[in-house]
Amino acid sequence: PMGSERMEMRKRQMSTTQETPGSAQAQHSTGNRGSNACCFCWCCCCSCSCLTVRNQDEERARRTSHELQAEGIPNCEESPAPTLEEVNAWAQSFDKLMLTPAGRNAFREFLRTEFSEENMLFWMACEELKQESNKSVIEEKARLIYEDYISILSPKEVSLDSRVREVINRNMLEPSQHTFDDAQLQIYTLMHRDSYPRFMNSAIYKDLLRSLSEKSIEA
């Protein structure tokens, strides 16, 4: 009986060893068949769900890479250096800060130190969406904004209440330039009440103000 058990075990081991190269070869040939091959089976299935997921991941990776290249330097908006008058005006109201590219850049730099830069990025993306008139472009940009800043799976998700999220989900059935208006206002208000006061007391703002004041005196 012991010998029979050993023989049975050896047969199982040999069977497993023989199956392994075959499986590897099948997987290799599957990869060579290109986009019609399913990663979970050896058959060809052009509408395989696993391929859909893989293609979406690849597309997302390409888009992310493109976004990083487009951003380049940390401040994504080109603007002349702010004047002392402009920087002083930022202290008068949050609206004046947000009206100028230089103000948004300085504030965005501060938000980055607090790990909340996505608030500014979302607000800017909404402003860009409002400038579009082409329906297909609007739909694509709305989808990207949703994936980047609304989806709970995104690392750049902004903080929105349930009411606003419900509005967005309804609006996404037929996206427009104003799909995210309620959400944009909520994030604008959040930055105004929460981040703006700290920005005015931050080293980033004070150092910029001091530097421009010294240059003004020298001139």
Let me know if 87 is exposed, middle or buried by CB neighbors in 10 A (0-12, 13-18, 19+).
Answer: buried
Instruction: Determine, yes or no, domain membership for 36.
Output: no
- Supply the pLDDT for residue 218: 79
Residues 120-154 pLDDT 10s: 999 999 999 999 999 999 999 999 999 999 999 99
Domain that holds residue 96: 84-218
Distances in Å between the alpha carbon of 178 and those of 25, 119, 141? 53, 17, 12
Greatest C-alpha distance within the chain: 103
- The CATH number linked to 171 is 1.10.167.10
Residues 30-56 pLDDT 10s: 444 444 444 433 343 444 444 444 455
Instruction: Determine, yes or no, domain membership for 128.
Output: yes
Please, are residues 172 and 179 in contact by the beta-carbon 8 Å criterion?
A: yes
Instruction: Determine, yes or no, domain membership for 198.
Output: yes
Tell me the C-alpha distance between 38 and 41, whole Å.
6
Tell me the C-alpha distance between 196 and 157, whole Å.
20
Which token pair is 119?
Answer: 């608030």
Instruction: Determine, yes or no, domain membership for 141.
Output: yes
Residues 3-26 pLDDT 10s: 455 455 555 555 554 444 444 444
Tell me the C-alpha distance between 116 and 26, whole Å.
48
Instruction: Determine, yes or no, domain membership for 204.
Output: yes
Which token pair is 72?
Answer: 């380049």
Q: How many domains are there within the chain?
A: 1
Tell me the C-alpha distance between 161 and 113, whole Å.
24
Beta-carbon contacts of 131 under 8 Å, excluding residues fewer than 6 positions away, are 177
Please tell me the pTM assigned to this model: 0.65
Instruction: Determine, yes or no, domain membership for 50.
Output: no
Instruction: Determine, yes or no, domain membership for 213.
Output: yes
Instruction: Determine, yes or no, domain membership for 27.
Output: no
Please, are residues 107 and 120 in contact by the beta-carbon 8 Å criterion?
A: yes
Residues 52-102 pLDDT 10s: 444 554 454 444 433 433 343 344 578 889 999 999 999 999 999 999 999
- Extended strands (E) in 29-166: none
Tell me the C-alpha distance between 111 and 189, whole Å.
15
Distances in Å between the alpha carbon of 219 and those of 33, 213, 216? 71, 10, 5
